[in-house]
Amino acid sequence: MSGRFITLEGSEGAGKSTNLEVVCKTLVQAGIDVYRTREPGGTPLAEALRKLLLAEWDETVDGVAELLLMFAARRQHLVNEIEPRLAAGQWVVCDRFTDATFAYQGYGRGLPLSYIEALESWVQESRRPDLSLYLDLDPKIGRARIADRVQDRLEREELMFFEAVRQGYLARAREQSHMHVIDASVPLAEVSAAVAGVVQTFVASQT
């Protein structure tokens, strides 16, 4: 049996990295062989593209150029890591995937969603996440949580950008049955319990 593809989404500081551990631990406890990865990134070339995408440049980074780099990294990641592992029966847990592109490049940058839909079909063929957990948080709270970190190019965007990103995720969640919204404003233990609960229900539905 082929594996399942689970993604974790959220805006800056929502707790994705922290809760990715919870997703993996819940799956391992259920006896599932898990591979953990992230986007942009996940292969040497895709990680190099990540560095370019998050770096500051002495020029404006064009939104379409940013979108194409995201999908170039995604294609490399899918072909070299994600697809072979799913085919071998491993479950893949990925920190962000194409729902992030809809939210950041579509709603945040204002690029036509039709560009993203076209690239999604071309680059991913029929591959879509089986389950995506979206950690929803007011971007003001998220920013405060990561205020002591060195900020990358995307993290330095205006609050308005992150408010549009949040609306984008919420719009996707209303339309896409694979997406589950989790309130990330409550204490971490409660968020993690909700994450584990959704994952356990999903696992039970697959057997």
Which residue type is seen at 122?
W
Q: Is 175 or 205 the residue whose CB approaches ligand T5A more closely?
A: 175
Q: Is 104 or 134 the residue whose CB approaches ligand T5A more closely?
A: 104
Pairing of strands 131-136, 91-95: unpaired
CA-CA distance, 108 to 170, in Å (whole number)? 13
Give the angle 56-118-132 at the CA atoms, nearest 5°.
Answer: 75
Q: Is 30 or 72 the residue whose CB approaches ligand T5A more closely?
A: 72
- Tell me the HSE value of 14 on the side-chain side, using a 13 A CA sphere: 25
β strands within the chain, DSSP E: 5-10, 34-38, 91-95, 131-136, 179-183
Residue ranges binding ligand T5A (CB under 6 A) = 10, 12-18, 38-40, 70, 95-96, 100-101, 104-105, 145-146, 154-155, 184, 187-188, 191
Least Å distance, CB 8 to ligand T5A, is 8
Q: Is 150 or 204 the residue whose CB approaches ligand T5A more closely?
A: 150
Tokens of 32: 């599932």
- Tell me the HSE value of 38 on the side-chain side, using a 13 A CA sphere: 11
Q: Is 38 or 180 the residue whose CB approaches ligand T5A more closely?
A: 38
Least Å distance, CB 36 to ligand T5A, is 13
Least Å distance, CB 64 to ligand T5A, is 13
The 3-state DSSP class for residue 147 equals: coil
Least Å distance, CB 86 to ligand T5A, is 18
Least Å distance, CB 52 to ligand T5A, is 12
